[in-house]
Amino acid sequence: MRPGLLMLLALAVPAATLDAAGWGLRLDPGATRVGFTLQATLHTVEGTIPLKDGVITFDAAGGAASGRLVLDATGARTGNESRDRRMHAEVLESVRFPEIVLTVQRAEIRADAAGQGTVTLVGTLAIHGGEHPFTIEARVRREGERAFAEGDLTVPYVAWGMTDPGAFLLRVAKEVQVHFAASGTLTPPEGP
């Protein structure tokens, strides 16, 4: 299962205001939602996974970025207790791997003067004991000091070593679709 995150980043700062490096974004876990969808025989499984923390520093003009988004794998829920127990025990193995971490290494921002546009984040996704490269594109907008992002990501969880929860009569997709709607506070670079 792949959350990610992504949960991701609202880096919608108009390019004209980004002459300096060191902009920051702190995501608000209470205002960020990461949901996942898994197609299965005769039904669709939907769930959520909470964001624990998310901070990114970026240079919009040059594309350099650093930071981490941490998801709480132990908090993943679908609304069905027996399915959730199986997901935690057999698929996520959340006792062994309690966090899903997106490490951001690059941010390409394309925003207009009103603060609306897109951001592409590049980095690694640590999940279930492995690290995988990722690229996430998000629609972003800025409202004062608040930034908002929304996007989708496909996680090939079976190819990444997690157990396929399907059975003889129950078939499930080998990829999970993740949708995120993130909100956070932007901080400008420190002055000289």
CB neighbour class for 135 (10 Å; exposed up to 12, middle 13-18, buried from 19):
exposed
Phi, psi of 29 (to 5 degrees): -55, -35
pTM score > 0.75 for this model?
yes
**Per the structure block, which two tokens stand in for 17?**
């205001």
Residue 140 has pLDDT above 70, yes or no: yes
Measured CA to CA, the distance from residue 28 to residue 77 in angstroms comes to 20
For the chain, list the domains and their CATH numbers. Answer: 15-179 (2.40.128.110)
Residues 166-189: tens digit of each pLDDT: 877 789 999 999 999 999 999 887
**What's the whole-number average pLDDT of the chain?**
86
In this prediction, residue 22 carries a pLDDT of 78
Residue 1 has pLDDT above 80, yes or no: no
Measured CA to CA, the distance from residue 106 to residue 58 in angstroms comes to 8
In this prediction, residue 21 carries a pLDDT of 61
Residues 64-122: tens digit of each pLDDT: 899 999 999 999 999 999 999 999 999 999 999 999 999 999 999 888 888 899 999 99
